[in-house]
């Protein structure tokens, strides 16, 4: 079995694969203060609930955009699962050619998303990831990762309104019935939900214009299911795209 770990700024997502099948996945809050042992206890408890024995985990693959937590999970993998993790970077074989000006700056989560999306759908393709930030990645038909765009995430924007405007409340991110809000909460929900759908569609339009062709657009991330129905350009939602990409990169780069 393979344990795939995606360490993000807001959440850590774990998934266990048996071959190509995702057996179980979990999403927990990212906590910089937790030690290796604390994260290990949490992981072992989650495995136990799903009746997955730790000794059946024969490989670990890790993507991290939180540098201080990378060694924590390296130690966890070594000490508790007895296998060194494969850590994603631009240097791994991914099926893509990284054409960004500085490949080292490309987040590992963006690499695994692009690799998984290109493998499943081909190119040209645009991947929209609704995470702490909302990221856009463009991949050509030839598998060239060109770069993309980064916008503030939906939750960050909602929190900014609450924190910086004295009379605006903290709201639940749900779709309002109308674009014309009839109170403060529905007005904020309209601006955030419908506004973000417009942001997505305009950035997709501009990227396609620069590429000179239409692209398949796939969305992932925790809020993809909320925004995708309001978008005119998103054609598919893959909730586990990052985990799928991690499993793919492990298969392509594992020692023989």
Q: Which of 109, 129, 201, 214 is catalytic?
A: 109
| Of 158, 128, 143, the residue nearest 224 (C-alpha) | 128
Find the DSSP H helices in the chain.
36-49, 70-80, 108-121, 154-164, 184-211, 224-227, 241-253
Three-point CA angle 223, 203, 246, nearest 5°: 50
Under DSSP, the state recorded for 168 is P
Reply yes or no on whether 78 is catalytic: no
Sheet-wide strand order for 21-29? 21-29, 11-18, 2-7, 59-64, 86-87
**8 A C-beta contact, residue 14 and residue 22:** no
Which structure tokens are listed for 1?
Answer: 């079995």
Q: Active-site positions?
A: 109
């Amino acid at each position: 079995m393979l344990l795939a770990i995606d360490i993000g700024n807001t959440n850590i997502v774990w998934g266990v694969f048996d071959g190509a099948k995702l057996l179980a996945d979990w999403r927990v809050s990212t906590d910089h203060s937790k030690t290796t042992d604390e994260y290990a206890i949490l992981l072992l408890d989650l495995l136990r609930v799903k009746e997955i024995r730790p000794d059946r985990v024969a490989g670990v693959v890790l993507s991290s955009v939180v540098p201080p937590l990378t060694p924590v999970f390296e130690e966890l993998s070594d000490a508790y699962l007895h296998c060194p993790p494969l850590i994603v970077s631009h240097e791994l074989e991914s099926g893509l050619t990284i054409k960004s000006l500085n490949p080292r700056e490309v987040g590992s989560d963006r690499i695994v998303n692009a690799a998984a999306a290109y493998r499943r759908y081909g190119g040209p393709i645009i991947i929209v990831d609704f995470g702490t930030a909302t990221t856009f990645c463009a991949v050509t038909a030839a598998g060239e990762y060109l770069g993309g765009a980064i916008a503030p995430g939906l939750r960050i924007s909602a929190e900014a309104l609450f924190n910086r405007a004295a009379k605006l409340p903290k709201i639940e991110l749900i779709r309002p019935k109308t674009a014309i809000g009839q109170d403060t909460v529905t007005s904020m929900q309209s601006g955030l939900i419908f506004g973000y759908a417009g942001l997505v569609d305009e950035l997709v339009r501009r990227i396609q214009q620069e590429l000179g062709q239409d692209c398949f657009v796939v969305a992932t991330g925790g809020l993809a299911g909320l925004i995708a129905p309001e978008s005119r350009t998103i054609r598919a939602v893959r909730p586990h795209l990052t985990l799928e990409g991690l499993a793919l990169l492990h298969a392509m780069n594992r020692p023989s």
